[in-house]
Homo-oligomer: A and B are copies of this chain.
């Protein structure tokens, strides 16, 4: 599968919240990175840990609206723009971020989230 097709299928599955499909593109050794170095979410390694991260998010975030835009491809990487209207800890906010994904052997080996301000 080309990187363009993988990126499009993955992004569409994320947009539709189709977890079974987008998780099928994860490598079992996927690494998920967030900017905050003091957070347990800074570096999450492996499918099981990432499933727990997602479960934590589902339990703690109330998502009012989410938009996905992209993907954008460079070599074996692609980028996706995210926009979210979400309530966490009783506080509602509008978040924007860019996810940069690195593909190895046809699977997503790393996801790295860039935060807007």
Contacts and interface: CB of A to CB of B under 8 A. Distances in A.
Interface of A: 4, 33, 35, 70-75, 77-79, 81, 96-98, 100, 112-117
Main secondary structure of the interface of A (DSSP, over half): strand
A114 B35 contact: no
A117 to B, nearest CB: 6
A98 B117 contact: no
A117 B35 contact: no
Number of identical monomers bound together in the oligomeric complex: 2
11 contacts: A72-B114, A73-B115, A73-B117, A74-B100, A74-B112, A74-B113, A78-B114, A79-B79, A79-B100, A79-B114, A98-B98
